[in-house]
Amino acid sequence: MKKTITALMVTAGLWVNAQDLPYTFTTTTAVYQEFSDGISINQGQTWDDPEWVVPIGFDFQYMDLTFNSLFFGGLDGYGGELLLGDVNGTSFQQLMPYFQDLVDGGFFDETPSESPVSYRVTGQPGSRVFWLQWSNVAFYNEDPPHPMRINFQLRLYEGSNIIHFHYGPNANLDDTVIQDYNGIVIGMSKNMDFNELTAEAIWALSGTPENPTPVAYTTLENFYSGTHLTTSPSPNTQYVFDPAMVSVSEQDREDVKVYPTAVIGNLNVVLPGNVPGRMRITDNTGRLLADEAVRPGYQQFSTDHWSTGHYIVTVQTADRMQTIRVVKY
């Protein structure tokens, strides 16, 4: 349920300095892996406008700040947004994997929880992954009997500081019903001050969920009235925010594509045109681990034989090159 702070902020207006998103943003498709071995946050209780504190389990750097916990209860306390920072302070960083008015499916009927929220940490120190999972979540602004459901995850990667928003199966979604704003809101913010009503930037995805563009807003009022995603992301859609800067020109980055930068299964390579290329993989010490041909078009390479850690992947043709840092989990 929307909180009164929203109306106050819209009336006052929140001025920010527009700037480019300080991440390399990529849209990918990956099989949604729901986990059942996590730690329950709601402990079987129904919820609406939750206010939970969740430990990340390691130090995570968001832009130029470091955090070790997340707090439910952000801009509107919707349930699909989180704050990084001291909950007793005034300046917050905000992650919005799904900024809609969410509620436990059993909330209105006062039944046991139908929408568990849980987390877990996997991997070894130095390359751990924090998983936060919303399961079978309903929507507050839908009239009963509440048949709509969605599943999604947030993942934070230790060391690389990569952020993943990943979307799973949904049921009976009607985006015209569930959205409070002009579209489905997904994004993040930097240095939002709830007392002074200021922030450095608010970014939200705009366009189709298959090919979105991050947009920076200069006022909170414009953020609320802005044009966001046309619909909710389809199952298996994954949004990757990577703080690492690739060592190629903007034109090369558009032409040669290598993703994702945080790898669990396959590494994807897209080579434009009809000319083959080569892919070189080295570890952090510079030791060459692979040097193999890449055919034009789309190709997948298995990383099942890779050890956990950081790698440098370079894909090169006669006139193009793409180099990225990849973390294997």
Q: Quote the mean pLDDT of the chain.
A: 82
C-alpha 137/C-alpha 150 separation (Å) is 5
Q: Give the 3-state secondary structure percentages of the chain, helix then strand then coil, rounded to 5.
A: 5, 45, 45
Q: Where is pLDDT greater, at 287 or 284? A: 287
C-alpha 260/C-alpha 242 separation (Å) is 9
Q: Which domains are delineated in the chain?
A: 5-242 (no CATH), 250-328 (2.60.40.3080)
How does pLDDT run across 49-67, given as a tens digit for each residue?
999 999 999 999 998 889 9
Say which DSSP state 35 is in.
-
Calculate mean pLDDT across residues 255-267. 81
Res. 196: pLDDT tops 80: no
For the ranges 48-52, 74-78, 138-142, 175-179, the maximum mean pLDDT occurs at 48-52
- Amino acid 137: pLDDT: 95
- Amino acid 198: pLDDT: 66
Q: How many residues does the chain have?
A: 329
C-alpha 307/C-alpha 263 separation (Å) is 11
Calculate mean pLDDT across residues 58-78. 86
Task: Write 303-307 long-range contacts (CB < 8 A, 24+).
Answer: 303/263, 303/265, 303/266, 303/267, 303/328, 304/265, 306/263
Confidence category of residue 2, pLDDT binned at 50, 70, 90: very low
Look up residue 111 and give its two tokens.
């039944």
Res. 17: pLDDT tops 60: no
- Amino acid 241: pLDDT: 92
Q: Where is pLDDT greater, at 60 or 160? A: 60
CA dist 66 → 46, 88, 246 (Å): 31, 17, 22
C-beta separation of 263 from 326 below 8 A: yes
Output the pTM of the full model.
0.74
Res. 10: pLDDT tops 60: no
Q: What's the number of CA atoms in the CB half-sphere (13 Å) around residue 165?
A: 23
Confidence category of residue 270, pLDDT binned at 50, 70, 90: confident
Res. 81: pLDDT tops 60: yes
109-113, 159-163, 281-285: which range is least confident on average? 281-285
* The dihedral sign for the CA sequence 190, 194, 199, 204: positive
Calculate mean pLDDT across residues 3-30. 57
Confidence category of residue 142, pLDDT binned at 50, 70, 90: low
Calculate mean pLDDT across residues 207-231. 88
